[in-house]
Structure 1
């Protein structure tokens, strides 16, 4: 993770990890068959971290309406992506092996969003699409797209982490408002 925090994911290799850990590169083969296996494990860990941060944010407003929890979850999503761009970009830079569905590695970030949207719908809240799964995909796509634009031009006005987060919160409020 330290390597990702200071350089792009494309520079992550068994050799650079071994150097960072202070071990010989061949010793990593006891842990990983190859660089792809290591990248998959790093990617899974990043998804797990992201999911934990989203869940922790939602827990802080557990007694609030589901829309507030959703805004907190996506606020944490934006903060993770903006504070750790290489980790975030790695999540979308590699193709997951056979676990490409939402029950695979992306589950820690995706499932809590679905559950919050389901709670919103059960409490009589409006959905922006026909069902909760589509609403979750729309929600994550909205955040991902806005983050991607900010990562492309970080110095452009409006692309700071707080402004991107504010945009997401406001837009979710509009999409899910009754």
Structure 2
């Protein structure tokens, strides 16, 4: 099994009193390392405990089952995507909204192609329960918010949208990028499915959709 290839880290120092939240964060990071090391592997609390260098019973005060842990992993991955998109836009050499938008999607593609196991969790059908999914809508989808804000700035600059309104234009771009990424993930060795090719496709599509008059 792929999960058996994952080697545990060196045994960690025990937390001091009041440092339980540190172990929780370490477990989340250990789970994501396990996904990165063995894409497609099935996470278990025991596997994550081994990766974190702790005894399996130490996990249960923080995560009662795998679904609870997966909810936190999905939440953290969305945060990472939003943070990297935001940093890319903030360091844009040009001030116009279209350039910032393209830099955001460059970061989006970089995350998806560089960490496919994490990215695929964000769009998986059943990584978490329906209740948890409902709780994570809206404000916990920072990638959507990042794109929406750039499109709002594009409108303020006098730009014309490729769709009827800012919400549908935001969904259009995310759907376009996600669809191209998903095709590349299905056949990563096929010519044209490299990270650079996927990024070029997405950025060229943004140019065509936003830079040309309707």
The normalised TM-score by structure 1 is 0.93
- Out of 53, 56, 60, the residue aligned to residue 87 of structure 2 is 56
- Runs of 4+ off more than 3 Å: none
- Out of 130, 136, 139, the residue aligned to residue 164 of structure 2 is 130
Tell me which residue corresponds to 1:99. Answer: 135
Q: Which stretches in structure 2 are left out of the alignment for 5+ residues? A: 1-31
- Out of 132, 147, 157, the residue aligned to residue 181 of structure 2 is 147
CA–CA separation in structure 2 for the residues paired with 1:43 and 1:101: 12
Structure 1 residue matching 2:60: 3-state secondary structure: helix
- Is the 8 Å Cα contact of residues 9 and 90 (structure 1) preserved in structure 2? no
- Is the 8 Å Cα contact of residues 9 and 87 (structure 1) preserved in structure 2? no
Q: Which stretches in structure 1 are left out of the alignment for 5+ residues? A: none
Task: Output the aligned Cα RMSD.
Answer: 1.4
Structure 2 residue matching 1:130: 3-state secondary structure: coil
Higher relative contact order, chain-length normalized (CA < 8 Å, sep 6+)? 1
CA–CA separation in structure 2 for the residues paired with 1:92 and 1:111: 17
Note the alpha carbon deviations across 1:45-77, whole angstroms, 9 max, x for none.
111111111011111116421011110001100
Q: 5 Å matches for 1:16-165?
A: 16-61=47-92, 63-93=94-124, 94-95=127-128, 97=132, 98-103=134-139, 105-106=140-141, 108-165=142-199
- Is the 8 Å Cα contact of residues 109 and 199 (structure 2) preserved in structure 1? yes
The structure number with the bigger radius of gyration is 2
